[in-house]
Amino acid sequence: MRTPVARILLTAALTAMVGIQVHQSTATAVPTATLSVDAGHTTARVNPYQFGHIVEDINHSVEGGLHANVVRNSTMKEGNANPPAYWSAVTAGGGSGSIAADTAGPLNAANPRSLRLSIGANGPGQRVGAANSGFYGIGVRPSTTYEVAFWARATAGFTGPLTVSLESTGGAVQATVAVSGLTTGWKRFTTSLTTTAGAPVSTGNRFVVAANGVGAGQSVWLTVVQALGPTFRPSGGIRRDLQQLLADTKPGFFRVPGGNYLEGVVLRNRFAWKDTVGPVEQRPGHQNDAWGYWSTDQFGLLNYLLMAEQAGAEPMLGVFAGYTLNGTVVPRDQLQPYIDEALDEIEYVIGGTDTVWGARRAADGHPEPFPLRYVEIGNEDFFDRSGSYNAYRYPMFADAIRARYPQLQLVASMPVTSRRPDVVDDHYYNSNPAAFADLATRYDNADRNGPKIVVGEYGVTNGTTGNPTGTLSGAIAEAAFLTGTVRNADLVIGSAYAPALTSVDNWQWSSNLVGFNAVSSYGSPSYHVVKMFGTLTGDHVVPSTLTGVAATVRQVVTRTTGGKVHVTVVNPTGTPVETQVDVTGATGVAGTATVTTLTGDPNGRNSINNPNAIAPTTTTRAAGASFAHTFPANSVVVLTLSTTGGATPLLPTGGVSLRSTTPGFTDRSVRHQNNLAVTSVVGSSSTAADKLDASFVLRPGLAGTGCYSFESRNAPGSYLRQSDYRVRLAVRDGSTGFASDATFCAVDGNSGQDFSFRSHAFPDRFLRHYANEVWIAANGGPLPSDAARSWTEDTTWRLGQSWWRSAVSVPTGNASLQATSAGVAGQSLRHADYVAALSPITAASSTTDKQDATFTVVAGLADASCYSFRSRNFPDRYLRHRDFRVRLDIGDGGAGFAADATFCAQPGNGGTGLSWQSYNYPSAYLRHYAGEVWIAGNGGSRASDNPANWSVDTTWQRAAPWAP
Ligand code: AHR
């Protein structure tokens, strides 16, 4: 055992070595909140690409940002100005000369403009040159190297040399080098500049190409001028500090190249990827009209891909889909060239070197294909009011891409019905942190039978006119939202704050993740949140509850396979939360935890001059299976605990569907047909009979807890069971053999996502669909259904919502509904003045009262799998919620009314009886509260959401009707 002295020394050493403060922190007040963590179970898998970045050229993110070239208007085309914009003549010592844009004797068709330096007087000691002012200055640091390249030619007789330098705007030379050998024909020159050890860190610099005392009366032409400052890796030309900041967040994906930048305002200014690859001097560049500046396209498709690769991420490739920001929609009969352009683009990314575009990628220096899983078709196509995206653009692109690349997952930029996308891209922006934080529960009850979700852009937009990055309060709201995306990682495959980067000298978007100028950069509070989530999230979500706190305090808990448990708590309130943290399900919890805390002034923000005003701190504290911790006001905190023991998936019992995840079969669900389990296409428009056959009730395993059994929804008592390896629907016979055959143990999905189900009877076999039948199969075993091909995908299942949403069968016809809560137990739900209420109806009540408390239970107006309540004495009226209060209204035949008047029967929240889930607000249930009747969520924002007694107040008994 270590002595206290040794511990003090170790503490001091740790502090000195890694800058970590170590202290024993204890809560100062009696905990009012309880955070319970079940480290032995998992509820969802966190995706390797759960956190990513969107990178597009906005706010000079790329041109003047990620692209390390410090020379602005490299190709002399920007604004078509003469003399070229951002260039100026430099003379000294009595030298004279001028600069002008010139199109005579062009380098090539792509870059016909050059800068002509006309040299007048230029004797010994004199100077004539051209200076470039860079992107809001040029960043200089001491002993720093810039790789210079340019194309040049000169009039006959010019012998040079040219002097290339980096110097302050006041003329102090920081680096200089001579370049000789100009001829009358265009030649490419390369050299490097290294600043002196004493060069000050500064932005007030310029890049100069000059003829110092040489070449009087001559001319020199320059174009495609580059001076690349420090890059992240030797290839890619990616500015080091910016890429380092992004890479430090451990991103899983880069959504590239946009955003509006992908689309352009007009067709010719879309991201025409073929113009962005190959030798830079062959790239024409284009007006970035989405964001208002020139793009040389010297940072092109390959650079975006390299950026992902070098950060350890995958690209999520956006392809132009025939819609531009001015509302232009490419007509159906003119769309094919754009589809071909997208197919070629994908070939450039993943094609072998034996393909046309794969070979081109190899010629560009990257023979290996890039990993590509997701391709997004378009961007924010909900702005296209013509409906063309759903009508033909998405289907035409999707069909063509799927036909050629069936392994790819396709992302739709808005919900579509004409095809089933694999993923839909949701975007969220809001300038109000509190409103944004409400999105924390956005996906808790979202449809599990629809496409998965990527949040391709999100952010609290509360930057200011003087600072394009947001406040801590905005970052805390974003953290609250991220707890929801992680908790729902089975549905939400990833998220990206947008935009990722901004120049602090010129920006178009108010709030951004990382700010930079020509020489330095900083992360906003939002950046620190993204980094905390990216680096302190495990690979599985762990069940947790947090009670005794304001509803706005959010948490999510994850764990790594190795047992690190990350407890993330977001406290947006102005009050510290004293919390008892209880960890169960682990065989051991280490006595020390790491605490990463982001807190401070909620209105505080970072800036280029004060980059660390808001930054996380890391400390350690005493921990264990039970300890108290204070989560500060306005904070995001991650407690990292070391635990021992494994974890198994914990699935939600109740109504489910079992959906294939095999590409090409994702619209299929397991169903029973003639007592055999098969897969068939089931969707929201399927017949009620088909939906019923594809709906199961997930039960604790008949042969043992920790595993599961699937009971048929429409044949209670019948279960999916294996028999001779084929899966069938069979009536339970009570034997242990049946129980074992009908029990399946959930494990992580064999293909790397969702779940697989190991047979309890044959543990080497998994539930598999094969030729539209369902078997238990072993990889490469002797049966045809053991075929190894697609085995991992075929044995991986997504747990969807039950197609038949009501988990409980309720007899239709006249009935009454009675409360179960102490004090009002037995009171009936009735209408009075067309508003629902609780009332103590008895046999002695008046006929009218009895009729008011009697309803005819019918198939749900919005969905036959649920129910509606028709008034006994006003048969044109139904119970429906309006503003969450339950009323008796006349059906108007509309879909809105039908949804409001439909309730799905579920087992009682209090354990017995029935609860009635709102059809269109699945987290809300029919509840009596203070004698009134509402639909209420547990702990929501209305008084009727009061968590006290919520479970029992939402539990009802179906009873005999008071009136016949
Ligand atoms: O992130 C900034 C812009 O917001 C994106 O370019 C666009 O997709 C969205 O409207």
Beta carbon of 690 within 6 Å of any ligand 1 atom: no
> Coil, helix or strand for 365?
coil
Distance 795 CA to ligand 1 centre (A): 38
Considering only CA atoms, which residue is closest to atom 9 of ligand 1?
259
Distance 260 CA to ligand 1 centre (A): 6
Three-state SS at 261: helix
Mutational test site, ligand 1, from 56, 262, 497, 526, max ligand atoms within 8 Å of CB: 56
Expressed in angstroms, the distance from the first to the final Cα of the chain is 79
Q: What is the mean pLDDT of residues 778-796?
A: 97
Atom of ligand 1 nearest to the CA of 459: 1
The β-bridge partners of 767 are: 776
Average pLDDT of the residues in 414-418 = 96
Q: Give the pair of three-digit tokens for residue 318.
A: 């956006």
Q: Residue 704: CA atoms inside 13 Å, Cβ hemisphere, count?
A: 11
What confidence tens digit (pLDDT) does each residue in 696-755 have? 999 999 998 889 999 999 999 999 999 999 999 999 999 999 999 999 999 999 999 999
pLDDT score for 28: 52
Phi, psi of 436 (to 5 degrees): -65, -40
What phi and psi values does residue 101 have, to the nearest 5 degrees?
-80, 140
| pLDDT beyond 80 at 2 | no
CA–centroid distance for 47 within its chain? 10
* Centre of ligand 1 from the C-alpha of residue 414, in Å: 14
Mutate to test the pocket of ligand 1, among 53, 55, 57, 58 (most ligand atoms within 8 A of CB): 58
Q: Is the CB of 379 under 6 A from ligand 1?
A: yes
- Residues 154, 158, 160, 163: is their CA dihedral positive or negative? negative
CA distances from 513 to 472, 509, 518 (A): 12, 11, 17
Instruction: Report whether residue 86 contacts ligand 1, using a CB cutoff of 6 Å.
Output: no
Ligand 1 pocket, residue 380 CB under 6 Å:
yes
Cross-strand bridge partners of residue 558: 541, 566
Instruction: Cis check for the bond before 701: say yes or no (omega within 30 of 0).
Output: no
Beta bridge partners of 559: 540, 565
Report whether pLDDT(59) > 90: yes
As a whole number of angstroms, the distance between CA 535 and CA 313 comes to 14
Q: Which residue has the higher pLDDT, 654 or 22?
A: 654
Tell me the mean pLDDT in the region 834-846: 97
Which of 57, 325, 380, 381 to mutate for ligand 1's pocket (most ligand atoms within 8 Å of CB)? 380
Within 706-790, residue ranges assigned H as helices are 736-741
Inter-residue contact 202 to 155 (CB < 8 Å)? no
* Ligand 1 atom showing the smallest separation from residue 290 Cα: 6
Mutation test residue for ligand 1: of 379, 431, 458, the one with most atoms within 8 Å of CB: 379
Number of neighbours of residue 704 by Cβ within 10 angstroms: 12
Q: DSSP letters along 292-354, please?
A: TEEE--SS-HHHHHHHHHHTT-EEEEEE--SB-TT--B--GGG-HHHHHHHHHHHHHHH--TT
Distance 52 CA to ligand 1 centre (A): 15
- Measured distance CA(232)–CA(246) in Å, rounded: 11
Distance between Cα 486 and ligand 1 center (Å): 23
pLDDT in tens, 594-653: 999 999 999 999 999 999 999 999 999 999 999 999 999 999 999 999 999 999 999 989
Distance from residue 836's CA to the centre of ligand 1 (Å): 45
Residue whose Cα lies nearest atom 7 of ligand 1: it is: 259
Burial of 922 (0-12, 13-18, 19+ CB in 10 A): middle
Concatenated DSSP letters for 694-729? T-EEEEE-TT-TTSEEEEESSSTTEEEEEETTEEEE
In this model, does residue 3 exceed pLDDT 70? no
Residue bearing tokens 């002008």:
100
Residue of the CA atom closest to atom 8 of ligand 1: 259
| pLDDT tens readout for residues 435-467 | 999 999 999 888 888 899 999 999 999 999 999
> What distance in angstroms lies between residue 457's CA and the mean position of ligand 1's atoms?
7
Query: Distance between CA atoms of 850 and 554, rounded to whole angstroms?
Result: 45
Give yes or no for residue 581 having a pLDDT over 90: yes
At 923 the pLDDT is: 84
pTM of the model: 0.89
* Nearest CA owner, ligand 1 atom 6: 259
Provide the angle, in degrees to the nearest 10, between the axes of the packed helices 525-535 and 240-248.
Answer: 50
CA distance 159 to 185: 13
User: Does ligand 1 lie within 6 Å of residue 264's CB atom?
Assistant: no
pLDDT at 941: 78
Q: What is the pLDDT of residue 31?
A: 86
Which residue has its alpha carbon closest to ligand 1 atom 2? 499
Whose tokens are 């947790």? That residue is 544
Q: What is the rounded CA–CA span in Å between residue 668 and residue 446? A: 19
Q: How far is the CA of 15 from the centre of ligand 1 (A)?
A: 42
Does the CB atom of residue 498 touch ligand 1 within 6 A?
yes
Going by alpha carbons, the residue nearest to atom 3 of ligand 1 is 259
Tokens in use for 757? 């189900």
Residue corresponding to tokens 């503003």: 883
Instruction: Decide if 257 contacts 56 (C-beta within 8 A).
Output: yes
Rg for the chain (alpha carbons), in Å?
33
How many angstroms separate the alpha carbon of residue 70 from the centre of ligand 1?
26
CA dihedral 495, 497, 499, 500 (to 10 degrees): -100
Q: Is the pLDDT of residue 25 over 60?
A: no
For residue 464, which of 604, 350, 638, 303 has the smallest C-alpha distance?
A: 604
Determine the distance separating the centroid of ligand 1 and the alpha carbon of 502, expressed in angstroms: 13
Q: Which of 806, 937, 956 is nearest to 867 (CA)?
A: 806
Share of the chain above pLDDT 70, in %: 97
Structure-block tokens of residue 812: 């239709």
Least confident piece of the model among 25-39, 52-66, 844-858: 25-39
Q: Please report, as a single letter, which amino acid is at residue 735.
A: S
Q: Is the CB of 260 under 6 A from ligand 1?
A: yes
Q: List phi, psi (to 5°) of 104.
A: -75, 145
* Best mutation site among 54, 59, 254, 427 for ligand 1 pocket (most ligand atoms within 8 Å of CB): 427
Q: How far is the CA of 54 from the centre of ligand 1 (A)?
A: 9
Q: Is the CB of 259 under 6 A from ligand 1?
A: yes
User: Helix, strand, or coil here: 516?
Assistant: strand
- For residue 578, the surrounding DSSP H or E stretch is strand 577-584
Kind and range of the H or E run holding 112: none
Q: Is 457 in the pocket of ligand 1 (CB under 6 A)?
A: yes
Nearest to 487 by CA among 924, 53, 796, 43: 43
Ligand 1 atom with the smallest distance to the CA of 258 is 6
Q: How far, in Å, is the centroid of ligand 1 from the Cα of 481?
A: 19
Residue 939: pLDDT band (50, 70, 90) is confident
pLDDT in tens, 295-344: 999 999 999 999 999 999 999 999 999 999 999 999 999 999 999 999 99
pLDDT of residue 654: 87
**91-137: pLDDT as tens digits:** 999 999 999 999 999 999 999 999 999 999 999 999 999 999 999 99
How far is 215 from 163, CA to CA, in rounded Å? 12
| Residue tagged 């448990």 (tokens) | 565
For a pocket test of ligand 1, which of 62, 256, 263, 457 has the largest count of ligand atoms closer than 8 A to its C-beta?
A: 457
Assess contact for 228 and 139: CB atoms under 8 A. no
Which atom of ligand 1 sits closest to the CA of residue 427? 9
Phi, psi angle pair for 962, to nearest 5°: -75, -30
Cα 261 to averaged position of ligand 1 atoms, centre (Å): 8
Q: How confident is the model at residue 7, as a pLDDT?
A: 30
Which is the closest atom of ligand 1 to the Cα of 498?
Answer: 1
SS (H, E, C) 639-691: EEEEEECCCEECCCCEEEEEEECCCCCCCEEEEEECCEEEEEECCCCCCHHHH
Helix ranges, 76-199 (H): none
What mean pLDDT is reported for the chain? 95
Angle of the 301-310 helix axis to the 240-248 helix axis, nearest 10: 50
Per-residue DSSP letter, 784: G
* Nearby residues of 578 by Cβ (< 8 Å), 6 or more positions away: 27, 28, 29, 30, 31, 32, 33, 628, 630
pLDDT (0 to 100) of residue 11: 31
CA pair distance 924, 918, nearest whole angstrom = 6
Q: Is the CB of 257 under 6 A from ligand 1?
A: no
Say if residue 15's pLDDT is above 50.
no
Strands 501-503 and 514-516: parallel
Report strand pairing: 726-731 vs 744-748: unpaired
The residue whose CA has the least distance to atom 5 of ligand 1 is 259
Residue 393 reports pLDDT greater than 90: yes
Please compute, for residue 571, the number of CA atoms within 13 A of its CA located in the half-sphere on the CB side: 26
| Helix, strand or coil, per DSSP, at residue 506 | coil
CA atoms of 611 and 697, how far apart (whole Å): 54
How many residues are given for the chain? 964
Res 713: pLDDT: 92
Block residue for tokens 């008011």: 852
CA atoms within 13 A on the CB side of 907: 8
pLDDT band at 30 (very low <50, low <70, confident <90, very high): confident
| Rounded mean pLDDT, 269-297 | 98
Distance from Cα 350 to the centre of ligand 1, integer Å = 27
Q: Using one digit for the tens of pLDDT, what is the confidence trace for 638-685?
A: 999 999 999 999 998 988 999 999 988 999 999 999 999 999 999 988
Between the CA of 259 and the centroid of ligand 1 the distance, in Å, is 5
Bridge-based pairing state of the strands 374-377 and 314-319: parallel
Query: Please, which residues have CB within 8 angstroms of residue 883's CB and are 6 or more apart in sequence?
Result: none
- CB of 425 shorter than 6 A to ligand 1: no
Return the residue whose CA atom lies nearest to atom 4 of ligand 1: 259
- Distance from the Cα of residue 655 to its chain's centroid: 28
264 C-alpha vs ligand 1 centroid, how far in Å?
A: 12
For the cut 80, the answer to whether the pLDDT of residue 940 exceeds it is no
Q: Decide if 237 contacts 229 (C-beta within 8 A).
A: no
Q: Is the pLDDT of residue 915 over 80?
A: yes
DSSP, res 257: S
Query: What are 177-206's pLDDT values in tens digits?
Result: 999 999 999 999 999 999 999 999 999 999
Distance 330 CA to ligand 1 centre (A): 21
Residue type, 925: Y
What H or E segment, with its residue span, contains residue 10? helix 4-18
Q: If pLDDT is split at 50, 70 and 90, which confidence band does 17 have?
A: very low
Model pLDDT, residue 27: 44
Q: Which 8-state DSSP code applies to residue 239?
A: B
Give dist(CA 164, CA 206) in Å, integer: 11
The answer to which of 17-21, 278-282, 358-362, 895-899 has the lowest mean pLDDT is 17-21
